[in-house]
């Protein structure tokens, strides 16, 4: 992740992201919308502790991370295959990267979030 360049050129504003999310919720209501808002806030809180990251971009991208759900849940989403296994393994690498960046546990940065099934999946 070295050499990550943050740019606002192609990133929507948080106001635009909220419009996209509202439109998506009308097409496919569900708990994924509040989940997306929480992920956006979590990404912002983590980025605020990483000097090389833009917390506003993190907020927007976290908020929009599941925007494809506007079209519904696809079968690929929950299937177990080599892709999903590799994705879960990468999750631990990313978690370790950000914990090194912030100098501690992600759970100390995210209020109300407790350690969960990530450890059970190792």
- For residues 53 and 72, the model is more confident at 53
pLDDT of residue 53 exceeding 90: yes
pLDDT of residue 33 exceeding 50: yes
Work out the pLDDT band at 58, boundaries 50, 70, 90: very high
Work out the pLDDT band at 72, boundaries 50, 70, 90: confident
Neighbour-count burial for 45-82, b at 16+ CB within 10 Å, e otherwise: bbbbbbeebbbbbbbbbbbbebeebbeeeeeeeeeeee
Map out the domains of the chain as residue ranges. Answer: 14-109
Work out the pLDDT band at 15, boundaries 50, 70, 90: very high
For residue 54, the model assigns a pLDDT of 95
pLDDT of residue 88 exceeding 60: yes
pLDDT of residue 109 exceeding 50: yes
Distance CA 24, CA 22 (A): 5
SS (H, E, C) the chain: CCCCCCCCCCCCCHHHHHHHHHHHHHHCCCCHHHHHHHHHHHHHHHHCCCCCCCHHHHHHHHHCCCHHHHHCCCHHHCCCCHHHHHHHHHHHHHHHHHHHHHCCCHHHHCCCCCCCCCCCCC
Distance CA 90, CA 50 (A): 19
């Amino acid at each position: 992740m070295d050499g990550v360049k943050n740019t606002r050129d192609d990133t929507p504003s948080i106001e635009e992201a909220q419009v996209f999310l509202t439109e998506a919720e009308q097409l496919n209501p569900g708990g994924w919308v509040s989940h997306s808002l929480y992920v956006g806030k979590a990404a912002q809180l983590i980025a605020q502790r990483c000097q090389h990251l833009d917390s506003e971009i993190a907020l927007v991208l976290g908020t929009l991370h599941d925007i494809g759900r506007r079209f519904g849940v696809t079968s690929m989403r929950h299937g177990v295959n080599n892709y999903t296994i590799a994705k879960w393994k990468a999750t631990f690498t990313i978690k370790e990267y950000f914990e090194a960046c912030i100098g501690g546990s992600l759970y100390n940065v995210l209020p109300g979030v407790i350690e969960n099934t990530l450890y059970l999946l190792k």
